Amino acid sequence: MGRLDGKVALITGAAGGIGRVAAELFASEGAGVALADIDDEAGATAEKEIREHGGEAFYVHADVSVDHDAAAMVEATVRRFGALDVLFNNAGVMTEADASVLDTPEDVFERTIDVNLKGVFLGCKHGIRAMLASGGGSIVNTASFVALMGAATPQIAYTASKGGVLALTREIAVEFARRGIRANSLCPGPIETPLMAELLADEERRNRRLVHIPMGRFGTAEEIARAALFLASDESSFMTGAALVVDGGITAAYVTPA
C-alpha cells in the first residue's frame, strides 16, 4: 500500500531536478500526479516515463509567476483527477547575477521574487480553493536553509524570496488549520541538481559552499523528495506551519572545519 494511495498531487517545477524526482516518487506511492513546468519537452518526457512505470501522471504547461497559468494548472488537475489533496510548490529560479545587494540588477531581483515567492502565493491562492472543495490536504512549499541564516555566498534575491516563503507558509498554516489544510515549508541545503551544477561549475565557488556542510557533501534530489513525501503524507498529520530542514547539518553548525 502506497503512502499517497488515493490522493491527487500537483507539483510545480516537475520537469527536472527535485520536482521530477518527487513526481516519480509520489506516483510510485499511489498518487495521481500533475506535473507543472515551463519546459514542455522535459515535462512530456517525465509524464511518459512515469506512466511507463505504472504511475498516473500528466503534464501541464504553467509559468507559476502568472496568475492565469497558476489557476489553469489547478483547474486541469481537478478536471483530470477530480480533486486536489497535495500541492508541492517547488518551482524556483536562481541566477549567477544574483549576488550582493549592491550589485544585483533590479530585473534579476524581480524575476526571482516573481517565481520563488509570488509563484508560491499564486499556487496557494488557487490550490487552496480546490483543496477546500476536496475536503482538505497538505501544502509543501520549497524554501531553503538560507531562509533561516545568511548565505555564505551573497545571493540577495534568492535569500529574500525564500525567507518570504517561510512567512507566507506560516500564515497560511494558521488561517486554514481548522479547515483541514496543512502547510509546511521544506528547507533544503545545497542539492546536486542540474541548476546547482551550472551555478557551481567553478570549483572555487563550489568548495566555498561545500566547506560549510558538516556532512561534507551536497544533498541529492532523492533525499529532498523523500522529505517532501513525508510532509505530503498523513505521516506528518500533526505538523503545520513548520520548516523541515534537510541541509546536512549546515544550520546546526557554528564553525565547520575545512
Active site residues: 158
3-class secondary structure, 168: helix
3-class secondary structure, 216: coil
Strand order in the sheet with 86-89: 56-61, 32-37, 8-12, 86-89, 137-142, 181-188, 243-246
Q: Tell me if 14 sits within 8 A of 46, measured CB to CB.
A: yes
Instruction: Strands of the chain (E only): list them.
Output: 8-12, 32-37, 56-61, 86-89, 137-142, 181-188, 191-192, 219-220, 243-246
Q: Give the CA count within 13 Å in the CB-facing half-sphere of 250.
A: 26
From the list 7, 42, 38, 40, the residue with the least C-alpha distance to 25 is 7
From the list 167, 175, 182, 158, the residue with the least C-alpha distance to 233 is 182
Q: How far is 240 from 178, CA to CA, in rounded Å?
A: 11
